[in-house]
Structure 1
Amino acid sequence: MANPKPKVVKDNKECFIIMPIADAEGYPNGHFKHVYDNIISPACDMAGFKPVRADEVKQTNLIHLDILKQLIEAPIAICDLSNRNPNVLFELGIRQAFDKPVVLIQEKGTPKIFDIAPLRYLEYCKEMKYHDVLSIQKELKDSIEATFEADGKQGNVNSIVKLLALNSPAQLPDIEHNRELLSLDVMHAEMRQMKSLVENMAIRGVGSKSSIEMIEYERISNELTNIVNNKRMPEGERNERLHYLLMETEEFMMRSPSKENHRHYRSLMERVHRALASDITSN
């Protein structure tokens, strides 16, 4: 598909892309890759930004610290909310907790996840016909530029921190000098901040605490499935990630006021233990 001439990317400006990576149920194979290739990537180029997806960040560790660093530090981000992917919502929550600028997009017909009137969404057609794609490329390019320019200003309409008049966003400690410590402590801090942020939205009628817990349950469950199915993952990394999921699951289980959710998390803990036991017996 022909794309308008891109701007030259200056000053290594990157746009972090928050979207489903794998094929999703209810969508044709390669759907979100087409969204990225035909809509998101060209719009970023036109706006003078280099698009970066999580799967393009090469270096990974226990909690994908490099992805987390990109997620928090990128000057602009685009988030596709189309299929309510739990990992996408989790990453968006972290981005919003740090009050970093983000452009929201979704497929036409997708119910709004956040019922906060000023939040703006760009919508694209599922069929992605030629002229529709050219139109949304231009709209997205304009929105990227406008959102980037509005960063830190009261006019930044997609800042939940500002819309809900929260006192201050989360703060990131020195990554370069505390990389090892950050691998656990920062993620826990972000999760607490993100959970607090979304629960504030719930108080204002946007969601429920139970639904937040279940989003986290789905995120951990999906990650566990991916780890178990990834036969090429190095043994050390696999073991570390499983132990981290175990800590996460235990923390959410202990904090859950819902007996039903508590049972879900206990069942999830048993799955993690079985995965760890399987690693031991296979060795």
Structure 2
Amino acid sequence: MSPKETGDQNKSQGIPCGIVMPISSIGGCSERHWEDVLQIITDAVSDVGFSAKLVSTADEITVIQRTIVQNLYNLPIVICDVSEKNPNVMFELGMRLAFDKPTIIIKDDFTGFSFDMGVVEHVEYPRDLRFGKIIDFKARLGEKVKATYSKSQNDRDFSTFLRHFGQFKPADISEQEMSGQEYIMEQLSSLMMKVDRIGRSKKSYQSRSQEASPDELDICCQALPESYIASLKRFVDGEDKIISSRISNVDGHIHLFARCSDESPFERARLEKAFREKARDMFLSDPRFGPELELNR
């Protein structure tokens, strides 16, 4: 084994350090830009004995969202790059801070501070990744990682964020061991539930589709009292572009179908929306029901 291969192997066996950062194009920064940033971070932490990996990385095939949450909770230290304030990055940073685990925030010099995060120190690097400044950034980041990890291991009262604002109990994740067979059965059960929901949704859609002809508008009157439906029908019939209308029972509740002379999908959508809003307003005007309306809109 060559000296380089030996060095790379030793680096890969360092203390795990998670990375949260953008990975696709955003704010004028290409995917290649973020690949370069990832390599810079990886080199910086490797130089001080840590092994960097994205929090979405897992050693086995698993659900990516579960991997991210588990890594955000389990990894001893995480670096979060909030450059461009990517929504996914900010969400994952919020989770990590809720766990109150060792976290280091970095950003480029084009990105401003977020109000809530302004109290937390940010390690800054140049967006243009200028060589001289990147060398300095890597040194500062490496020292920050090493010092933060060391303090988290030796200080029982260590807190990245939460405890600076009061006495809070960090969020916890309960863990349960299961056999491979149990895990497979759990995933199959989840998949069957999703397929069942899709099937029921398709059945309901087909039921309504069979009731309505292609040129009819569909106004659901699920929560509208029967005494109001005739008034709604008169309102619909008063529209110039409505040829005729009819009332039908679909899946146990009332629908009003209206045949429209205008073939424009935009005009048909406008009319259907106006009729549904009329049904809603009629319901809300009745003091017996008020804001309890739950029409399908």
- Which residue among 1, 14, 17 is the counterpart of 2:16? 14
Q: CA deviation at 1:87?
A: 0.8
Cα contact 2:24–2:30 (8 A) shared by 1 = no
Higher relative contact order (CA 8 A, sep 6+): 1
**Retained in 2: the 8 A contact 1:6–1:48?**
no
What is the match of residue 28 of structure 1?
30
Maintained 8 Å contact 1:147/1:156 = no
Give the distance between the partners of 2:162 and 2:75, measured in 1 at CA. Answer: 18
Q: 1:23 to 1:116 in 2, by over 3 A?
A: closer
The residue type paired with residue 94 of structure 2 is G
Task: Name the structure 2 match of 1:258.
Answer: none
RMSD: 3.3
CA distance in 1, matches of 2:8, 2:118: 33
Kept in 2, the 8 Å contact 1:6–1:47? The answer is no
Counterpart check, 1:148 vs 2:149: yes
Larger helix share, 1 or 2? 1
- Deviation, 1:115, is 4.3
- Secondary structure of the residue aligned to 1:169 is coil
Using the size of structure 1 for normalisation, the TM-score is 0.55
Contact 1:71 1:95 in 2 (8 A): yes
Q: Which residue in 2 is equivalent to 1:122?
A: 123
Query: In structure 2, do the counterparts of structure 1 residues 136 and 175 end up closer, same or farther at CA, with 3 Å as the change threshold?
Result: farther
Measured in 1, the distance between the counterparts of 2:8 and 2:166 equals: 37
Q: Extract unaligned runs of 5+ from structure 1.
A: 185-235, 244-283
Whether contact under 8 Å (1:9, 1:50) holds in the other structure is: yes
Which residue of structure 2 lines up, in the alignment, with residue 215 of structure 1? none
Tell me the CA shift for residue 10 of structure 1: 8.8
Q: Secondary structure at the match of 1:171?
A: coil
Counterpart-to-counterpart distance in 2, 1:28 and 1:11:
30
Percentage of matched positions with identical amino acids: 26
SS at match of 1:174: coil
TM-score where L is the length of structure 2? 0.53
Equivalent pair of 1:7/1:46 in contact (CA under 8 Å): no
Deviation at 1:73, TM superposition (A): 0.4
**TM-aligned CA distance change 1:105 to 1:173, over 3 Å:** same
- Would you say the 8 A contact 1:60–1:66 is kept in 2? no
Alpha-carbon spacing, 1:95–1:115, altered in 2? closer, same or farther (3 Å): closer
For these two proteins, the number of residue pairs brought into alignment is 182
Q: In 2 relative to 1, CA 7–58 (structure 1 residues): closer, same or farther, beyond 3 Å?
A: closer
